[in-house]
Amino acid sequence: HKEEYKRLCGRQFDEGKQRIVGGETAKKGEFPWQVALVL
């Protein structure tokens, strides 16, 4: 899929692309994990 990505100076080449996470579409900036901190 290299031809889908065009490199532009100073910009990420996958900017704005969505990803599939856990069977649902995840937008840029969304995180597919949870954290529990127990002290």
| Local confidence band at 29 (pLDDT 50, 70, 90 cut-offs) | confident
Look up the pTM and report it.
0.21
The residue-averaged pLDDT of 11-20 equals: 57
Q: Which of residues 1 and 20 earns the better pLDDT score?
A: 20
The residue-averaged pLDDT of 26-33 equals: 69
| Local confidence band at 35 (pLDDT 50, 70, 90 cut-offs) | confident
Q: Are 26 and 20 in contact (CB under 8 A)?
A: yes
Residue 27: CA count within 13 A, CB half-sphere: 1
Kind of pairing between the strands at 19-21 and 24-26: antiparallel
pLDDT at 37 over 80: yes
Nearest CA to 15 out of 30, 5, 23 is that of 5
